[in-house]
Structure formats: C-alpha cells, structure tokens
C-alpha cells in the first residue's frame, strides 16, 4: 500500500472519529495511533493494517457515531493513559532539548533563532510593502514559528541559574 494513501486515510479517520470520540481522535493523532487503529478495526471487522478499508467501513456504517462513543467509553482508561503519556513525552522532549543546550552551551539554537528573526523582519517588511493574501499567509506562518522560538527561550524551565538538577 502506498504510504501517502495510508496517511490520507488516517487523516480522514482522525477527522471523523474526533467529532464523535475526541479522546480516541487524540490517540489516533499520537505516536501510539496503532492502538486506536486496532480498536477501530476490531469493532469494524477489518484489517488494522488497511487504513483505507477502515475509512470505507466508517463511511458505510450508519450508526458509526454511537459505535465510536461506545468504543471510547469502554476503553476510556487506556485511551487516557495513552493521551497522558503522549503529553509527558512532549514535555520531556522540551526539557531534554533545554537541558542539552544548557549543558553543552551550544550556540547553534541561538544562531538559528537570530537568523530566523532576521528573516522574519525582512518578511514583515516585504509583506507591508507588497500586500497579497499569499504574503499574509506566509507572514502568519513566520509568526507561528516566532512564537515557538519565544516559548523555547522564555519557557518556565529555561536557563534558571539557581535551579539544581
């Protein structure tokens, strides 16, 4: 099966499932999506490796909303644990990145941030002088990245000199 077809089907599954069972949708969007896919495939009676077949069965099942809510209710504890683990993994990843920078006194993230800020300033100037909807979209994405950089540098656990590990 082509990976792009599988990814498109998975995106469709996440979209449909999230409407009726938001916790299940969150699990499907996590690194442990295979657990959610297995649960879905089991109630639908299809092969868990065939995401297109799962999507087709979801579209063909008239009472899918009820089945998804039941599935989420029956597996709530497991799904909550997976969602919580996904959050812990994200937080630990950020902590490890910050700890690495503090330990190694690495200048690469700072240089990348400064380079991005220069690009951001140039892009903003260009967007002000050449107003189009495409430039507005590009400007918005640049602002999203700027917010991530600011969150990284001014996050609650970043570079606290009195903090003992």
Q: What is the pLDDT of residues 154-163, one digit of tens each?
A: 664 444 444 4
Q: Is the pTM of this model over 0.95?
A: no
Distance CA 148, CA 114 (A): 13
**Helices 76-104 and 33-44 meet at what angle, rounded to 10?**
160
Q: Which domain holds residue 121?
A: 107-153
Do 56 and 119 sit in the same domain of this protein? Answer: no
Quick one: average pLDDT of 141-153?
A: 81
Q: What is the pLDDT of residues 90-108, one digit of tens each?
A: 777 777 777 777 777 777 7
Query: 83, 118, 137: which is the final residue of a domain?
Result: 83
Do 78 and 8 sit in the same domain of this protein? Answer: yes
Q: Do the Cβ atoms of 138 and 127 come closer than 8 Å? A: yes
Number of domains in the chain: 2
Q: Which of 25, 42, 41, 43 is nearest to 79 (CA)?
A: 25
Do 79 and 111 sit in the same domain of this protein? Answer: no
Which is more confident, 94 or 54?
A: 54
Do 73 and 130 sit in the same domain of this protein? Answer: no
| Triad 55, 58, 60: Cα angle to 5° | 110
Q: What is the pLDDT of residues 74-83, one digit of tens each?
A: 888 888 888 7
Quick one: average pLDDT of 120-136?
A: 86
């Amino acid at each position: 099966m082509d990976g792009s077809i599988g990814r498109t089907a998975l995106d469709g599954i996440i979209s449909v499932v999230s409407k009726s069972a938001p916790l299940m949708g969150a699990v499907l969007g996590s690194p442990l999506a295979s657990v959610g896919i297995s649960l879905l495939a089991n109630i639908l009676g299809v092969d868990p490796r065939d995401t297109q077949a799962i999507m087709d069965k979801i579209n063909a099942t008239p009472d899918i909303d009820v089945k998804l809510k039941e599935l989420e209710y029956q597996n709530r504890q497991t799904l909550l644990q997976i969602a919580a683990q996904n959050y812990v993994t994200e937080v630990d990843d950020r902590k490890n990145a910050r700890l690495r920078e503090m330990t190694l006194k690495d200048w690469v993230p700072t240089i990348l941030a400064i380079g991005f800020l220069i690009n951001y300033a140039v892009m903003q100037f260009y967007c002000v002088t050449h107003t189009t909807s495409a430039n507005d979209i590009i400007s918005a994405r640049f602002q999203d990245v700027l917010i991530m950089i600011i969150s990284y540098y001014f996050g609650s656990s970043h570079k606290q000199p009195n903090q003992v590990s």
